Amino acid sequence: MDKRYIELAPINLRNMHTTRYDGSGFSAKLSDFSPTDVQVLKTIYEHIKSVYDLWLYMKDAPQYALFKPTIERFSSDEMVFLGKKLGMTTEISSASLRKIIHDIRGGALTTMISCAGRIERMNLYNDVERMRSFVFLARDQAKMMRSAIEDIDPFTRAADERFRIHSVYDYVKKWHDFEYPSAKGTITVKVRCFFEGNVTTCCLEASALDRVVYNYINNALRFAATDTITLTILPIGNMLRWVVENELEPKDLQWLEETIGNDAQALYKGGITHGGNGIGLSNCADIVAASCSIPPPEAIEQGYVGAKVIGSTYYGWFHWNAVQ
């Protein structure tokens, strides 16, 4: 293992929770949104959940052609419009609500729309791995929406709260060789994992972890200068360190230098953005801090979350407690 991953942050970080973090604490209710946004949320959720429901229905004998109407829906201008429309009519009264809208509009939804567009354009309905990726993106997005909106599907959210172990292999399998079509071409995620074991104990906790991972990977995809980004997972004591790295264009390196200098930790405090909205990484700091039971400013200062540029490579990391 390259020692640079160990040297990114302290190796004595500890989880301060006396019990396992359950993934709660970063959600709103439908009543927090305007009636127009409630309808948008319900429509997006119903479309997304229908994908995984169909998969479960035909799991023993998959017929990927049955997904064609769904693929066409997600590749349509209507779906893109729905994602952009969310939050436009709600009076945003708190930073937490802004972060929830950010995670729903981003998360796996943007990738689903991009993936569906590629499947339709290239007629990839018989590409098993591509179709499976679309299905599991839908699964993740539905779970993240139940994590973010408590009462959008109370029955299934109750199931998300029940004890269920999730292995690190679930993340390796999901992300390794995942291809993301972008304006610059196809970008592939590569995973290197130096841990064998479990990472979460219920679906709600897994959704909280997903909200962090998707934020990191979406951020890397936006600024990747090459066709590959890398996710590395390694044990540091009882914690797991997740590191997402990507090469940067000279213009992005210059922007970072001019904006934050050597203080890449500032990116996690919110309000700093390069074409985005400046809250994604701040939200990650909040969730990771809650999972370790420490205040977000301390999580940033002590290196539970962080970023560093070495040469032309950007490294973003966070820590999550392994299941003992």
Token reading at 75: 């590749």
Enumerate the domain spans of the chain.
Answer: 3-10+164-200+223-321, 30-149
Inter-residue contact 291 to 321 (CB < 8 Å): yes
Map residue 87 onto helix, strand or coil: coil
Neighbours of 170 (CB within 10 A): 15
Furthest-apart CA atoms within the chain: distance in Å: 55
pLDDT over threshold 90, residue 140: yes
Alpha helices (H) in 177-279, listed in sequence order: 203-223, 250-260
Give 192's strand partners: 232
pLDDT value, residue 286: 94
State the burial class of residue 155 (Cβ atoms within 10 Å of its Cβ: 0-12, 13-18, 19+).
exposed
Instruction: Give the pLDDT band (50/70/90) at residue 257.
Output: confident
What residues contact 69, with CB distance under 8 A and at least 6 apart? none
Per-residue pLDDT tens digits for 262-310: 778 888 887 565 555 557 788 999 999 999 999 999 999 999 999 999 9
CATH class given for the domain over 30-149: mainly alpha
- Are the CB atoms for 120 and 75 separated by under 8 Å? yes
**Token representation of residue 91:** 């009076």
Is 3.30.565 the CATH classification of the domain at 3-10+164-200+223-321?
yes
When pLDDT is cut at 50, 70 and 90, the band that residue 82 belongs to is confident
* Sequence-ordered strand ranges (E) for 36-182: 163-167, 178-182
| Closest residue by Cα to residue 217 from 137, 120, 301 | 137
Q: Where does residue 186 rank: exposed (0-12), middle (13-18), buried (19+ CB within 10 A)?
A: exposed
pTM value is 0.94
Instruction: Give tens-digit pLDDT for 13-29.
Output: 988 888 899 999 999 99
Strands (E), the chain: 163-167, 178-182, 185-193, 198-202, 228-236, 239-247, 305-310, 313-321
pLDDT at residue 304, as a whole number:
96
Terminal alpha carbon distance of the chain: 23
pLDDT at 107: 87
Whether the Cβ atoms of residue 137 and residue 111 lie closer than 8 Å to each other: yes
Identify the residue with better confidence: 267 or 240.
240
Residue 81 has pLDDT above 80, yes or no: yes
> How far is Cα 38 from Cα 42, in angstroms, rounded to an integer?
6
Measured in whole angstroms, how far is the alpha carbon of residue 21 from the centre of its chain? 18
Phi, psi of 162 (to 5 degrees): -75, 155
Interval 168-218: pLDDT, tens: 999 999 999 998 887 778 899 999 999 999 999 999 999 999 999 999 999
Q: Which two tokens stand for residue 291?
A: 């999972």
Q: CA-based Rg of the chain, rounded to a whole angstrom?
A: 19
Asked, colleague to colleague, whether 3-10+164-200+223-321 and 30-149 share their fold, the answer is no
How many Cβ atoms sit within 10 Å of the Cβ of residue 175? 18
Q: Which amino acid is at 55?
A: W
Per-residue pLDDT, 83: 84
At 36, the pLDDT band (50, 70, 90 cuts) reads: very high
Q: Which amino acid is at 289?
A: A
